[in-house]
């Protein structure tokens, strides 16, 4: 989400006479578009703000970062601008102060989003902003405001423009894409509309287990350009905690969705976000999470240790936190469990052939390429192939958890 916003901000400012530089040291104005969902990145963002402020730059705090701490941020920045205020950015960028109303429209912002000319083979497109869920641990509803869906024609215009400029993969983004709704058009309708455009690969994130409908899987199964991958954060395998977190589903319901998805789309890749160390998490709750992970056999997962985030519900609700060493130990155990499953799954890829879209070269060897399968698994290809090309790759072996393969002629 922030990546997309940054790309549009860049376009907006360029069109309004500002010159972009990749090197903050050479810039007069430095914009830090920060995420505050977890504590660690937020700390880094504060360091960046202080660093550039000390060096005499005009420093702008943007994104959720701006929305969360508002006035306090003025100590480290000149301008504080929330994500729903970007329409005014070209006018306010040289002013000082706090602009964080989140009931604003984003018409101009999306106009610039459609105008973006520097586009890659793979691009994000925002379909909705905000979130109404108020999961207890989460700051997003406070930083991004109420859920707001973008008109389908506006989304389609942007996607068409990107395709015309060479984009091959579009990822539709929103905090909870499944609750997309605009004048009678729901998420499955939107997916269907986008799939009719000449786009090679369509992805979407994030899905919510409470709101996803099986009809979405039916469409994914029918449309060859909708990729067989779903990112479906589960957070915990404990029903008690799911309820406390206000997630709105049970572990049984989650398993039902996953099983249904695999039945409808046999090669679907399923990934999730999982959290440990919620203040009331017992050893038994944690074991339910491990058990769920083994039952579901995730293809990959992002795993986090809970951190209290002001002004989330949990921040005020729980006076005491779990001892850090307990959370760290659980996190380690969870990572190990997921990793074992992931390695097994990657080894299962050996001997099979996958369509890969090349997105760069391998980290340690420029002669090798790197790309993603339709299911969003990164693989290394033993040949130099230009970015954006599609090739068939036969996996020959696995290095750690990275599948490696050779291109094959079809």
- Angstrom distance (rounded) from CA 397 to CA 20: 43
CA distance 38 to 308: 8
Q: How far is the CB of 68 from ligand SAH (least distance, A)?
A: 12
The CB-of-129 to ligand SF4 minimum distance in angstroms stands at: 11
Which of 116, 150, 168, 208 binds ligand SAH (CB under 6 A)? It is: 208
Distance CA 196, CA 223 (A): 9
The nearer residue to ligand SF4, 64 or 265, going by C-beta atoms, is 64
Q: In angstroms, what is the minimal distance from the CB of 338 to ligand SAH?
A: 13
201-240 CB burial, b ≥16 within 10 A, e <16:
bbbbbbbbbbbbeeebbebbbeeebbbbbbbbbbbbbbbe
Q: Nearer Cβ to ligand SF4, position 135 or 391?
A: 135
Instruction: Give least dist CB 35 to ligand SAH, A.
Output: 9
| CB of 218 vs ligand SF4, minimal distance in Å | 24
Q: What DSSP string describes 208-266?
A: -TTT--HHHHHHHHH-TTB-SEEE---B-S-HHHHHHTT----HHHHHHHHHHHHHHST
- Enumerate binding residues for ligand SF4 (CB under 6 A): 131, 133-135, 138, 140-141, 175-176, 208
Cis ω before 191 (30° cut-off from 0): no
| 304 contacts ligand SAH (rule: CB under 6 A) | yes
What is the rounded CA–CA span in Å between residue 188 and residue 215?
7
187 counts as binding ligand SAH under rule CB under 6 A: no
Phi-psi region of 104 (alpha: psi -120 to 50; beta: other; left: phi over 0): beta
From residue 146 to residue 175, the character string flagging contacts with ligand SAH as x (rule: CB under 6 A) and all else as - is -----------------------------x
The only residue of 33, 100, 235, 373 in contact with ligand SAH, by rule CB under 6 A: 235
Q: What angle do CA 219, 223, 229 make, to 5 degrees?
A: 75
Question: Residue 134: which of ligand SF4, ligand SAH, none does it interact with, CB under 5 to 8 A by kind?
Answer: ligand SF4
Identify the residue among 288, 307, 373, 376 touching ligand SAH (CB under 6 A): 307
Say how far apart CA 41 and CA 20 lie, in whole Å: 24
**254 binding partner (options ligand SAH, ligand SF4, none; Cβ < 5 to 8 Å by kind):** none
Which residues are at the interface with ligand SAH (CB under 6 A)?
Answer: 37-38, 137-138, 140, 175-176, 206, 208, 233, 235, 273, 275, 304, 306-307, 309
């Amino acid at each position: 989400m922030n990546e997309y916003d940054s790309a549009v901000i860049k376009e907006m400012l360029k069109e309004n006479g500002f010159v972009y530089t990749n090197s903050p040291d050479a810039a007069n104005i430095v914009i830090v578009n920060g995420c505050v969902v977890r504590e660690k990145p937020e700390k880094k963002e504060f360091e960046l703000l202080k660093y550039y402020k000390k060096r005499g730059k005009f420093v702008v705090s943007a994104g959720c970062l701006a929305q969360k701490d508002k006035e306090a941020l003025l100590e480290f920045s000149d301008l504080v601008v929330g994500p729903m205020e970007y329409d005014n950015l070209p006018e306010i960028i040289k002013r000082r102060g706090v602009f964080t109303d989140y009931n604003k429209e984003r018409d101009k912002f999306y106009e610039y989003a459609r105008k973006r000319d520097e586009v890659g083979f793979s691009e994000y497109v925002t379909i909705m902003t905000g979130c109404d869920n108020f999961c207890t641990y989460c700051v997003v509803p406070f930083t991004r405001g109420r859920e707001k869906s973008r008109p389908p024609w506006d989304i389609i215009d942007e996607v068409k423009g990107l395709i015309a400029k060479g984009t091959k993969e579009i990822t539709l983004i929103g905090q909870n894409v499944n609750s997309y709704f605009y004048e009678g058009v729901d998420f499955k309708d939107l997916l269907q509309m986008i799939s009719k455009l000449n786009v090679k690969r369509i992805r979407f994130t994030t899905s919510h287990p409470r709101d996803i409908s099986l009809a979405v899987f039916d469409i994914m199964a029918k449309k060859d350009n909708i990729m067989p991958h779903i990112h479906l954060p589960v957070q915990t395998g404990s029903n008690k905690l799911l309820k406390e977190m206000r997630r709105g589903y049970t572990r049984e319901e989650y398993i039902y969705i996953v099983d249904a998805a695999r039945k409808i789309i046999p090669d679907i890749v399923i990934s999730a976000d999982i959290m440990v160390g919620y203040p009331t998490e017992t050893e038994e709750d944690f074991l339910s999470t491990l058990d769920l992970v083994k039952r579901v056999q995730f293809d990959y997962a992002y795993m986090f240790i809970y951190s209290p985030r002001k002004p989330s519900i949990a921040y005020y609700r729980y006076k005491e936190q779990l001892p850090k060493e307990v959370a760290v130990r659980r996190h380690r155990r969870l990572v190990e469990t997921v990793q074992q499953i992931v390695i097994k799954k990657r080894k299962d890829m050996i001997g099979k052939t996958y369509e890969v879209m090349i997105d760069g070269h391998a980290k340690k060897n420029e002669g090798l390429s790197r790309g993603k399968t339709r299911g969003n698994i990164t693989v290394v290809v033993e040949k130099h192939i230009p970015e954006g090309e599609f090739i068939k790759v036969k996996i020959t072996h696995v290095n750690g958890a990275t599948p490696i393969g050779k291109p094959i002629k079809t």
